[in-house]
Amino acid sequence: MTKIFAIKIYQIDLPLKEGRYSWADGKYVEVFDSTIVEIETESGVTGVGEVCPLGPFYLPAYGPGVRTGIAELAPHLLGEDASRILRINEVMDRALLGHPYVKSPIDMACWDILGKITGQSICNLLGGKDGESVDLYRAITQLPPEEMADNVRKHRADGYTKFQLKVGGDAQDDIARAFATRSALDHDEVLVADANTGWTITDARRVANALSELDIYIEQPCASYEHCVSIRNGTRLPFILDENIDCLEMLLRAHGDKAMDAINLKISKVGGLTKARQIRDLCVSLGIPMTVEDSWGGDVTTSAIAHLAHSTAKAMRFSSTDFNSYVTVSVAKNPPHRVNGTMSASDEPGLGIELDRKRLGEPVATFQQQ
Protein backbone atom coordinates (compact mmCIF):
# COMPACT_ATOMS: atom_id res chain seq x y z
CA MET A 1 0.00 0.00 0.00
CA THR A 2 1.26 3.49 -0.84
CA LYS A 3 -0.99 5.31 1.60
CA ILE A 4 0.87 7.92 3.63
CA PHE A 5 1.53 6.67 7.15
CA ALA A 6 3.97 9.31 8.42
CA ILE A 7 5.49 12.64 7.43
CA LYS A 8 8.80 13.66 9.01
CA ILE A 9 10.38 17.11 8.83
CA TYR A 10 14.12 17.73 9.14
CA GLN A 11 15.89 21.07 9.34
CA ILE A 12 19.47 21.38 8.14
CA ASP A 13 21.83 24.34 7.89
CA LEU A 14 23.78 24.62 4.64
CA PRO A 15 26.85 26.87 5.04
CA LEU A 16 28.40 28.22 1.86
CA LYS A 17 31.89 27.21 0.76
CA GLU A 18 32.58 30.77 -0.36
CA GLY A 19 31.33 32.16 2.97
CA ARG A 20 28.69 34.50 1.58
CA TYR A 21 26.29 34.67 -1.37
CA SER A 22 25.42 38.26 -2.27
CA TRP A 23 22.99 39.61 -4.84
CA ALA A 24 20.76 42.63 -5.53
CA ASP A 25 20.11 45.46 -3.06
CA GLY A 26 22.84 44.31 -0.68
CA LYS A 27 21.04 41.06 0.18
CA TYR A 28 23.18 38.14 1.24
CA VAL A 29 23.06 34.72 2.89
CA GLU A 30 25.87 32.88 4.67
CA VAL A 31 23.98 29.81 5.92
CA PHE A 32 20.89 28.50 4.17
CA ASP A 33 17.95 27.15 6.18
CA SER A 34 16.85 23.98 4.36
CA THR A 35 13.90 21.70 5.09
CA ILE A 36 13.89 18.03 4.13
CA VAL A 37 10.62 16.10 4.14
CA GLU A 38 10.42 12.32 4.38
CA ILE A 39 7.14 10.57 3.62
CA GLU A 40 6.67 6.99 4.80
CA THR A 41 3.96 4.78 3.32
CA GLU A 42 2.10 1.92 5.01
CA SER A 43 4.21 -0.56 3.03
CA GLY A 44 7.44 1.02 4.28
CA VAL A 45 8.44 2.72 1.01
CA THR A 46 9.75 6.21 1.71
CA GLY A 47 10.27 9.31 -0.40
CA VAL A 48 12.19 12.51 0.26
CA GLY A 49 11.91 16.13 -0.84
CA GLU A 50 13.68 19.37 -0.03
CA VAL A 51 13.00 23.08 -0.18
CA CYS A 52 15.50 25.81 0.65
CA PRO A 53 14.36 29.42 0.25
CA LEU A 54 17.01 32.01 -0.63
CA GLY A 55 16.60 33.70 2.74
CA PRO A 56 13.36 35.45 3.76
CA PHE A 57 13.76 38.38 1.34
CA TYR A 58 14.07 36.89 -2.13
CA LEU A 59 10.66 35.32 -2.87
CA PRO A 60 7.65 35.21 -0.52
CA ALA A 61 9.11 32.14 1.19
CA TYR A 62 11.23 31.48 4.27
CA GLY A 63 12.61 28.50 6.16
CA PRO A 64 10.46 28.45 9.32
CA GLY A 65 7.41 29.11 7.15
CA VAL A 66 8.05 25.87 5.27
CA ARG A 67 7.89 23.83 8.44
CA THR A 68 4.82 25.66 9.74
CA GLY A 69 3.06 25.12 6.43
CA ILE A 70 3.85 21.41 6.33
CA ALA A 71 2.45 21.07 9.86
CA GLU A 72 -0.77 22.57 8.50
CA LEU A 73 -0.88 20.23 5.51
CA ALA A 74 0.18 16.98 7.19
CA PRO A 75 -3.18 16.04 8.78
CA HIS A 76 -4.87 16.39 5.38
CA LEU A 77 -2.32 14.13 3.69
CA LEU A 78 -2.12 11.22 6.15
CA GLY A 79 -3.96 8.25 4.63
CA GLU A 80 -3.79 9.63 1.08
CA ASP A 81 -2.17 7.53 -1.66
CA ALA A 82 1.30 9.03 -2.25
CA SER A 83 1.42 7.60 -5.79
CA ARG A 84 -1.65 9.59 -6.85
CA ILE A 85 0.34 12.78 -7.24
CA LEU A 86 -2.35 14.89 -8.92
CA ARG A 87 -4.69 13.99 -6.06
CA ILE A 88 -1.97 14.95 -3.54
CA ASN A 89 -1.67 18.36 -5.21
CA GLU A 90 -5.43 18.84 -5.18
CA VAL A 91 -5.55 18.06 -1.45
CA MET A 92 -2.72 20.51 -0.72
CA ASP A 93 -4.23 23.28 -2.82
CA ARG A 94 -7.58 22.94 -1.04
CA ALA A 95 -6.07 22.76 2.42
CA LEU A 96 -3.64 25.68 2.01
CA LEU A 97 -4.10 28.51 -0.46
CA GLY A 98 -0.91 29.72 -2.10
CA HIS A 99 2.42 28.93 -0.42
CA PRO A 100 3.78 26.84 -3.32
CA TYR A 101 7.19 26.51 -1.66
CA VAL A 102 5.56 24.62 1.25
CA LYS A 103 4.01 22.08 -1.12
CA SER A 104 7.11 21.52 -3.24
CA PRO A 105 9.04 19.08 -0.98
CA ILE A 106 5.89 17.02 -0.39
CA ASP A 107 5.24 16.76 -4.11
CA MET A 108 8.92 15.88 -4.66
CA ALA A 109 8.78 13.12 -2.04
CA CYS A 110 5.70 11.63 -3.71
CA TRP A 111 7.54 11.50 -7.06
CA ASP A 112 10.38 9.71 -5.26
CA ILE A 113 7.89 7.14 -3.96
CA LEU A 114 6.27 6.72 -7.38
CA GLY A 115 9.67 6.04 -8.91
CA LYS A 116 10.54 3.47 -6.27
CA ILE A 117 7.28 1.50 -6.55
CA THR A 118 7.46 1.46 -10.37
CA GLY A 119 11.21 0.78 -10.49
CA GLN A 120 11.84 3.86 -12.60
CA SER A 121 13.89 7.00 -12.14
CA ILE A 122 11.99 10.27 -11.89
CA CYS A 123 13.80 11.28 -15.06
CA ASN A 124 12.16 8.37 -16.89
CA LEU A 125 8.77 9.20 -15.41
CA LEU A 126 9.17 12.78 -16.66
CA GLY A 127 10.01 11.71 -20.20
CA GLY A 128 13.45 10.11 -20.17
CA LYS A 129 16.96 11.46 -20.66
CA ASP A 130 17.72 13.70 -23.60
CA GLY A 131 21.47 13.74 -24.12
CA GLU A 132 24.31 12.39 -22.03
CA SER A 133 24.38 15.22 -19.46
CA VAL A 134 23.07 18.66 -18.52
CA ASP A 135 25.13 21.86 -18.92
CA LEU A 136 25.46 23.85 -15.69
CA TYR A 137 25.84 27.53 -14.98
CA ARG A 138 27.77 29.03 -12.08
CA ALA A 139 26.34 31.92 -10.08
CA ILE A 140 28.95 34.61 -9.39
CA THR A 141 28.27 36.34 -6.10
CA GLN A 142 28.20 40.16 -6.17
CA LEU A 143 31.65 41.62 -5.52
CA PRO A 144 33.83 44.38 -7.04
CA PRO A 145 34.26 43.89 -10.82
CA GLU A 146 37.76 42.39 -10.88
CA GLU A 147 36.99 39.99 -8.04
CA MET A 148 33.96 38.74 -9.96
CA ALA A 149 36.11 38.32 -13.08
CA ASP A 150 38.64 36.33 -11.02
CA ASN A 151 35.82 34.07 -9.76
CA VAL A 152 34.70 33.47 -13.33
CA ARG A 153 38.22 32.42 -14.25
CA LYS A 154 38.39 30.08 -11.25
CA HIS A 155 35.11 28.36 -12.08
CA ARG A 156 36.01 28.02 -15.76
CA ALA A 157 38.71 25.65 -14.52
CA ASP A 158 35.92 23.43 -13.14
CA GLY A 159 34.42 23.13 -16.62
CA TYR A 160 31.66 25.74 -16.40
CA THR A 161 30.96 27.63 -19.62
CA LYS A 162 27.84 29.51 -18.48
CA PHE A 163 27.86 32.17 -15.78
CA GLN A 164 25.12 34.06 -13.96
CA LEU A 165 26.50 37.40 -12.82
CA LYS A 166 24.81 38.79 -9.70
CA VAL A 167 24.12 42.46 -10.35
CA GLY A 168 21.17 44.64 -9.31
CA GLY A 169 23.32 47.12 -7.37
CA ASP A 170 24.61 50.53 -8.39
CA ALA A 171 24.11 50.86 -12.14
CA GLN A 172 27.62 52.12 -12.89
CA ASP A 173 29.18 49.37 -10.79
CA ASP A 174 27.05 46.77 -12.55
CA ILE A 175 28.14 48.03 -15.96
CA ALA A 176 31.77 47.64 -14.85
CA ARG A 177 31.01 44.13 -13.49
CA ALA A 178 29.56 43.07 -16.83
CA PHE A 179 32.51 44.33 -18.90
CA ALA A 180 35.09 42.87 -16.51
CA THR A 181 33.54 39.40 -16.44
CA ARG A 182 32.79 39.27 -20.16
CA SER A 183 36.47 39.97 -20.85
CA ALA A 184 37.36 36.85 -18.83
CA LEU A 185 35.31 34.59 -21.12
CA ASP A 186 35.74 33.10 -24.57
CA HIS A 187 33.34 34.14 -27.32
CA ASP A 188 31.37 30.86 -27.12
CA GLU A 189 30.79 31.09 -23.35
CA VAL A 190 27.58 32.49 -21.89
CA LEU A 191 27.18 35.42 -19.50
CA VAL A 192 23.90 36.47 -17.87
CA ALA A 193 23.51 39.73 -15.94
CA ASP A 194 20.95 38.72 -13.32
CA ALA A 195 19.56 41.70 -11.40
CA ASN A 196 17.11 39.61 -9.33
CA THR A 197 14.57 42.50 -9.51
CA GLY A 198 17.14 44.91 -8.02
CA TRP A 199 17.14 47.77 -10.55
CA THR A 200 14.72 50.64 -10.86
CA ILE A 201 13.39 51.07 -14.38
CA THR A 202 15.72 54.02 -14.94
CA ASP A 203 18.82 52.13 -13.78
CA ALA A 204 17.79 49.09 -15.80
CA ARG A 205 17.56 51.21 -18.92
CA ARG A 206 20.96 52.78 -18.22
CA VAL A 207 22.58 49.37 -17.86
CA ALA A 208 20.85 47.87 -20.89
CA ASN A 209 21.91 50.82 -23.05
CA ALA A 210 25.51 50.67 -21.80
CA LEU A 211 25.73 46.93 -22.50
CA SER A 212 23.96 47.05 -25.87
CA GLU A 213 27.05 45.93 -27.82
CA LEU A 214 28.15 43.31 -25.28
CA ASP A 215 27.49 39.58 -25.67
CA ILE A 216 25.30 39.23 -22.59
CA TYR A 217 21.79 38.30 -21.45
CA ILE A 218 19.68 40.53 -19.19
CA GLU A 219 17.70 38.68 -16.51
CA GLN A 220 14.78 40.00 -14.42
CA PRO A 221 15.95 43.63 -14.19
CA CYS A 222 12.99 44.96 -12.18
CA ALA A 223 10.46 43.68 -9.67
CA SER A 224 7.50 44.85 -11.73
CA TYR A 225 6.50 42.70 -14.70
CA GLU A 226 5.41 45.83 -16.56
CA HIS A 227 8.79 47.49 -15.99
CA CYS A 228 10.56 44.35 -17.23
CA VAL A 229 8.47 44.38 -20.39
CA SER A 230 9.35 48.04 -20.93
CA ILE A 231 13.07 47.27 -20.65
CA ARG A 232 12.66 44.24 -22.90
CA ASN A 233 11.00 46.35 -25.58
CA GLY A 234 13.82 48.89 -25.45
CA THR A 235 16.82 46.58 -25.82
CA ARG A 236 18.22 44.23 -28.44
CA LEU A 237 19.86 42.07 -25.79
CA PRO A 238 18.39 38.60 -25.15
CA PHE A 239 16.06 38.70 -22.16
CA ILE A 240 15.24 36.22 -19.37
CA LEU A 241 12.37 36.36 -16.87
CA ASP A 242 12.64 34.60 -13.53
CA GLU A 243 10.84 35.90 -10.45
CA ASN A 244 7.75 36.99 -12.42
CA ILE A 245 7.21 33.49 -13.88
CA ASP A 246 5.62 31.82 -10.87
CA CYS A 247 2.73 29.93 -12.48
CA LEU A 248 1.33 28.68 -15.77
CA GLU A 249 -0.86 31.76 -16.17
CA MET A 250 2.11 34.14 -15.92
CA LEU A 251 4.01 32.11 -18.50
CA LEU A 252 1.10 32.39 -20.92
CA ARG A 253 0.79 36.13 -20.28
CA ALA A 254 4.50 36.71 -20.80
CA HIS A 255 4.54 34.61 -23.96
CA GLY A 256 1.61 36.59 -25.32
CA ASP A 257 3.40 39.85 -24.54
CA LYS A 258 6.66 38.57 -26.13
CA ALA A 259 8.20 39.52 -22.79
CA MET A 260 11.23 37.20 -22.83
CA ASP A 261 13.48 34.92 -24.82
CA ALA A 262 13.93 32.39 -21.99
CA ILE A 263 12.76 31.76 -18.43
CA ASN A 264 14.14 30.45 -15.17
CA LEU A 265 12.00 27.56 -13.98
CA LYS A 266 12.40 27.11 -10.24
CA ILE A 267 10.79 23.97 -8.83
CA SER A 268 9.68 25.33 -5.45
CA LYS A 269 8.60 28.70 -6.87
CA VAL A 270 5.81 26.95 -8.80
CA GLY A 271 4.92 24.32 -6.17
CA GLY A 272 6.94 21.21 -7.01
CA LEU A 273 7.87 18.84 -9.82
CA THR A 274 4.26 18.31 -10.91
CA LYS A 275 3.60 21.95 -11.75
CA ALA A 276 7.17 22.50 -12.93
CA ARG A 277 6.64 19.70 -15.45
CA GLN A 278 3.46 21.37 -16.72
CA ILE A 279 5.33 24.64 -17.27
CA ARG A 280 8.33 22.80 -18.73
CA ASP A 281 6.20 20.94 -21.26
CA LEU A 282 4.38 24.09 -22.32
CA CYS A 283 7.70 25.90 -22.75
CA VAL A 284 8.92 23.09 -25.00
CA SER A 285 5.75 23.38 -27.10
CA LEU A 286 6.08 27.17 -27.31
CA GLY A 287 9.82 27.07 -28.04
CA ILE A 288 10.90 28.87 -24.84
CA PRO A 289 14.32 27.80 -23.51
CA MET A 290 14.62 27.27 -19.75
CA THR A 291 17.13 27.31 -16.97
CA VAL A 292 15.87 24.41 -14.84
CA GLU A 293 16.71 24.95 -11.19
CA ASP A 294 15.35 25.98 -7.79
CA SER A 295 15.82 28.83 -5.31
CA TRP A 296 18.56 26.91 -3.47
CA GLY A 297 19.12 23.55 -1.80
CA GLY A 298 21.45 20.65 -1.14
CA ASP A 299 21.69 17.07 -2.33
CA VAL A 300 17.94 16.36 -2.49
CA THR A 301 17.04 19.52 -4.40
CA THR A 302 20.00 19.06 -6.76
CA SER A 303 18.83 15.50 -7.47
CA ALA A 304 15.34 16.74 -8.34
CA ILE A 305 16.80 19.46 -10.58
CA ALA A 306 18.91 16.84 -12.39
CA HIS A 307 15.87 14.65 -13.11
CA LEU A 308 13.72 17.52 -14.39
CA ALA A 309 16.53 19.09 -16.42
CA HIS A 310 17.82 15.85 -17.95
CA SER A 311 14.30 14.90 -19.08
CA THR A 312 13.83 18.30 -20.75
CA ALA A 313 14.35 18.54 -24.50
CA LYS A 314 18.02 19.41 -24.99
CA ALA A 315 17.23 22.19 -27.45
CA MET A 316 15.08 23.94 -24.82
CA ARG A 317 17.60 23.48 -21.98
CA PHE A 318 19.37 26.81 -21.55
CA SER A 319 21.19 25.66 -18.40
CA SER A 320 20.80 24.17 -14.95
CA THR A 321 22.71 24.21 -11.67
CA ASP A 322 24.33 22.00 -9.04
CA PHE A 323 23.52 23.70 -5.75
CA ASN A 324 25.08 20.92 -3.68
CA SER A 325 28.51 22.00 -4.94
CA TYR A 326 28.08 25.46 -3.34
CA VAL A 327 27.60 24.19 0.24
CA THR A 328 29.76 22.40 2.79
CA VAL A 329 27.19 19.86 4.03
CA SER A 330 26.09 16.68 2.26
CA VAL A 331 23.02 14.83 3.58
CA ALA A 332 22.60 12.07 1.00
CA LYS A 333 24.50 9.23 -0.59
CA ASN A 334 24.90 9.12 -4.38
CA PRO A 335 23.67 12.64 -5.22
CA PRO A 336 24.54 14.19 -8.60
CA HIS A 337 28.06 15.56 -8.86
CA ARG A 338 29.50 17.98 -11.37
CA VAL A 339 31.74 16.51 -14.06
CA ASN A 340 33.46 19.10 -16.26
CA GLY A 341 30.65 21.62 -15.93
CA THR A 342 27.82 19.11 -16.38
CA MET A 343 25.71 16.72 -14.31
CA SER A 344 23.46 13.74 -14.99
CA ALA A 345 20.31 12.32 -13.46
CA SER A 346 20.55 9.00 -11.64
CA ASP A 347 19.20 5.87 -13.35
CA GLU A 348 18.16 4.39 -10.00
CA PRO A 349 14.46 4.34 -8.99
CA GLY A 350 12.99 7.61 -7.72
CA LEU A 351 15.49 10.34 -6.98
CA GLY A 352 18.21 7.70 -6.76
CA ILE A 353 19.61 8.92 -3.44
CA GLU A 354 19.66 7.69 0.15
CA LEU A 355 19.59 10.02 3.15
CA ASP A 356 22.64 10.03 5.40
CA ARG A 357 20.92 9.51 8.75
CA LYS A 358 23.92 10.52 10.83
CA ARG A 359 24.29 13.84 9.03
CA LEU A 360 20.55 14.50 9.06
CA GLY A 361 19.92 13.92 12.75
CA GLU A 362 16.49 13.61 14.33
CA PRO A 363 13.34 15.07 12.77
CA VAL A 364 12.11 18.38 14.19
CA ALA A 365 8.52 17.20 13.76
CA THR A 366 6.73 13.93 12.96
CA PHE A 367 3.11 13.45 11.93
CA GLN A 368 1.65 9.97 11.66
CA GLN A 369 -1.59 8.07 11.61
CA GLN A 370 -2.85 6.96 14.99
Asked whether residue 348 is domain-assigned, the answer is no
Residues contacting residue 165 through CB under 8 Å, at least 6 positions apart? 140, 148, 177, 178, 181, 191, 192, 193, 194
Asked whether the predicted pLDDT for residue 181 surpasses 90, the reply is yes
Q: Distance (Å, rounded) from C-alpha 348 to C-alpha 36?
A: 20
CATH number for position 248:
3.20.20.120
Q: Which of 129, 266, 269, 275 is catalytic?
A: 266
With beta carbons less than 8 A apart as the criterion, state whether 336 and 325 touch.
Answer: no
With beta carbons less than 8 A apart as the criterion, state whether 249 and 223 touch.
Answer: no
Answering whether pTM is above 0.95, one says yes
104 with 172, same domain: the answer is no
According to DSSP, residue 327 is labeled B
Asked whether residue 208 is domain-assigned, the answer is yes
Question: 80-130, pLDDT tens digit by residue?
Answer: 999 999 999 999 999 999 999 999 999 999 999 999 999 999 999 999 999
198 with 304, same domain: the answer is yes
Asked whether residue 309 is domain-assigned, the answer is yes
Q: Catalytic site residue 8?
A: no
CATH number for position 104:
3.30.390.10
290 with 145, same domain: the answer is yes
Mean pLDDT of the chain: 97
Asked whether residue 112 is domain-assigned, the answer is yes
Alpha helix positions (H), 63-144: 63-77, 85-95, 100-118, 122-125
153 with 247, same domain: the answer is yes
Asked whether residue 350 is domain-assigned, the answer is no
Q: Distance (Å, rounded) from C-alpha 188 to C-alpha 304?
A: 28
- Higher-pLDDT residue of 370, 127: 127
Q: Catalytic site residue 166?
A: yes
Residue 29, beta-bridge partner list: 21
Q: Count structural domains, the chain.
A: 2
Q: Which domain holds residue 26?
A: 4-119+357-368
Neighbours of 86 (CB within 10 A): 8
Asked whether residue 352 is domain-assigned, the answer is no
Q: Which of 8, 103, 166, 269 is catalytic?
A: 166
